[in-house]
Structure 1
């Protein structure tokens, strides 16, 4: 095996490793953003009243 081939292989593997690290960081950032959005949506849901029957039933006999 020629020295230039070894150097080329080493550089190629290093670039591949760097690309994988970048892709992992982008994926992590995307998942963190999705988690923050889901948390915000869940927190924006109004709490149920103390009496769960209030606001859920319609009195049709009156």
Structure 2
């Protein structure tokens, strides 16, 4: 191997590592956005009504 091919291989490896780091960073940001949106959706849900207590003392969940 000559010096130029070694340098080209090192450069390609460095570029590949940078691309991987950028991809992971973008993925983490996308997951953070999804988490934020999921929390907003959960916060927007109406509270579950407490139904009347039946003869057995249980509550029937009509939203399930």
TM interval, short-chain normalised:
0.7 to 0.9
Q: TM-score, normalised by structure 1?
A: 0.78
Backbone CA RMSD of aligned residues:
1.8
Q: TM-score, normalised by structure 2?
A: 0.76
Structure 1 stretches of 4+ with a deviation exceeding 6 A read none
Structure 2 unaligned runs (5+)?
53-64
Which residue matches 1:27? 27
Structure 1 unaligned runs (5+)?
54-62
Q: What is the count of residue pairs matched by the alignment?
A: 54
Which fold has the larger relative contact order, with Cα–Cα distance below 8 Å and residues 6 or more apart in sequence? 2
Which residue matches 1:52? 51
